[in-house]
Amino acid sequence: MEEIRKLLMSYVEDVPGMLGIVLSDREGIPIIRCTVDDCPEPATRPAFLSAHSASLEQAGKMGMGANETIMAVYQNYQVIHMLYSGVVISLIATTEAILNEIRNTGDSLKPLIQDISVAVLDPV
């Protein structure tokens, strides 16, 4: 797990303004967290993560097709939640970070997420 944490930290450090990446299940239970000291701790809590997971699912019921990404911009932070293979990727950044760079980081994590979902969500 430490190797995955180091890999995720390399993604965090590569994007200016990125503060953390949290991988969780749909209920908001963190699988792994990788954050810098400036990352707001409430954004990594299960209650916050599960609320946005529920938003992902509810937005998909609005008749516009499946929803796999939701973005929220707050006063000082922005958060992107992406659902992939049953794992929610939460990317936390400052408001100065470039949204597209953050989203591209989430997309580049998908091969890793595929492996994690098989190992964690479907244990043998």
pLDDT, tens digit, for every residue of 13-42? 999 999 999 999 888 889 999 999 999 999
Q: How many CB atoms sit inside 10 A of residue 50's CB?
A: 17
- What is the Cα–Cα distance from 114 to 109, expressed in whole angstroms? 9
The residue range of the domain holding 31 is 2-121
pLDDT of 17 reads 96
Q: How confident is the model at residue 123 (pLDDT cuts 50, 70, 90)?
A: low
User: How many domains, in total, are found in the chain?
Assistant: 1
Which among 110, 82, 79 is positioned nearest to 95, based on CA atoms?
79
Q: Residue 47 above 70 pLDDT?
A: yes
pLDDT of 95 reads 95
Residue 104: CATH number of its domain = 3.30.450.30
Q: How confident is the model at residue 74 (pLDDT cuts 50, 70, 90)?
A: very high
- What is the Cα–Cα distance from 73 to 5, expressed in whole angstroms? 25
Q: Residue 124 above 70 pLDDT?
A: no
